[in-house]
A and B are shown apart, each in its own frame.
Chain A
Amino acid sequence: MNLIQKARMKSPWILHFNAGSCNGCDIEILSCLTPVYDIERFGAVNVGNPKHADVLLVTGPVNRRNERVLRNLYDQMLDPKIVVAVGTCASSGGVFQNCYNCMGGVDKVIPVDVYVPGCAAKPETIIEGLILGLEKLAKMPSKPKKGAQPAEART
């Protein structure tokens, strides 16, 4: 593992977006920052600015109102970046599957790297999902591939 890969593993800055979640998973994400789990031990911090972030944690099934917000946030993040879908709703739509107003999961809007199951997802699972994502992030090239297109909605 070279220095850049190690640095990416050890310094994930996280942007958290609630795409219509019930707040259950969001509370679990925030509890990762508290003294019990303290993910800042691994260098992870919760940033408020997509331009500073490496990891996008999304909760909720994504509805037609906030899908463009989600895509906008994703496009503002600099490469290399990963997306972690936290919770059942974000992974597949959960109980909102096939609702007329719901997209049914984050991967219908932007590419997802890691799916974290659970309703609500446990902090331990979220941290494990984050680490899995970071292993992928570390191996990504620094420069984006030529002709790479921004995320398009998949139907």
Chain B
Amino acid sequence: MSTPEIAIRLFAAVLLAPIAGMLLVGLDRRISARLQGRVGPPVTQPFYDLVKLLAKQGDTTSRFQTACLALYLASNVVSLAMVFLGQDLLVMLFVVAFGAVAYIVGGFSAKSPYSQLGTQREMLQLLTYEPLLIFLAVGIYLRTGSFLAADVLRLERPLLPELPVFALTLVVVYCIKLRKSPFDIAASAHHGHQEVVRGPLSEVAGPSLALVELAHWYELPLLLSIAALLWATPLWAGVLLGLACLLASIVVDNVAARLTWSWMLRFGWAVAVPASIANLLYLYATRGGGS
């Protein structure tokens, strides 16, 4: 990869992707509103929310938490840049996990009981979706013989027909990562939902909360690009696959009620994880035939 190409890809990851993410967050709110028979806010609503939060008085009970949220934002930016530059998927997932852990440490640093309770639930969410993402990376490795995102883009055939289960587990990951029902037990994606007073974000306000909003703008393109790896040739089909997963998670959000953390853990480890392992076993059994 030449230097100008790296610069273009970095520019796309750091500046263009969050704009797309902002519009997707706005679209998400609008689609949810339509599903509920309402008109919904304009698509640019997240932008106005961000500007308003940045212009609020900066007051926080824990500066440490603000630092942790900045780390969370930084890890989202770095992991997105890593995918765009075709870097190692496992390392990328560890960077994502680092951000999630920073978010959790920040939540525990606030003394509010809502923050403590919400952060404990956040940890259970991490425990549910993290293995699913790792299994996905392993599945890609079993077919391509490499963890590099760039090698997935060089494939001639899409991966999805051989990794069908992972498109479904990705919907689960989307629901958990985007804090949607039935998994929105720690802090809901919708500002209107009030489970444990927005959990880890109970003590976060104003400009600190803006960091979290901005991190979500990076998170959505990141999740879309993980889905795009399943159908990397042609790439636009992969992006469509990611958007389909996103739409599925929005529909699930609107038809499902919020369930308990124990249900989420059971669902993750008794259904999604065994299904992922079954798909991996299939890949292992048919190994050497395709590539």
Contact = CB atoms under 8 A, between A and B. Distances in A.
Interface in A1-27: 3-4, 6-8, 10-11, 13
Contacts of B59: 78
B56 A11 contact: no
Contact of A47 (B29, B39, B192): B192
B49 A43 contact: yes
A48 B190 CA distance: 11
A11 B49 contact: yes
A4 B51 contact: yes
B55 A8 contact: yes
Given A4-B55, A10-B48, A40 B38 contact: yes
A35 B36 contact: yes
Contacts of A72: none
B52 interface: yes
A78 B56 contact: yes
B192 A46 contact: yes
Contacts, number: 90
Interface centre among B39, B47, B51, B56 (most CB of A within 10 A): B56
B191 A80 contact: no
Nearest to A52: B205
Interface stretch (B125-133, B194-202, B269-277, B280-288): B194-202
Nearest to B203: A51
A46 B204 CA distance: 17
B206 interface: yes
B233 interface: no
Contact residues of B: prevailing secondary structure: loop
Nearest to B191: A45
A149 to B, nearest CB: 15
Contacts of A45: 190-192
A79 interface: yes
A40 B37 CA distance: 12
Interface range, A side: 20 to 34
A54 interface: yes
A21 B194 CA distance: 21
A43 B41 contact: yes
Nearest to A37: B38
A142 interface: yes
Contacts of B205: 51-52, 78
Interface centre among B38, B47, B52 (most CB of A within 10 A): B52
Interface in A25-84: 33-35, 38, 40-43, 45-49, 51-52, 54, 78-80
Given A11-B48, A48-B198, A38 B56 contact: no
Nearest to A54: B52
Interface string B10-52: 0000000000000000000100010011111110010111111
B57 interface: yes
B209 interface: yes
Contacts of B49: 7, 11, 43
A13 B191 contact: yes
A154 interface: no
A100 B250 CA distance: 51
Nearest to B194: A48
A146 interface: no
Name the 5 nearest CB pairs between A and B, nearest first.
Answer: A48-B194, A7-B51, A51-B205, A35-B37, A10-B48
Interface of B: 29, 33, 36-42, 45, 47-52, 55-57, 59, 190-192, 194, 197-198, 201-206, 209
6 contacts: A40-B38, A43-B49, A46-B192, A49-B197, A51-B204, A144-B57
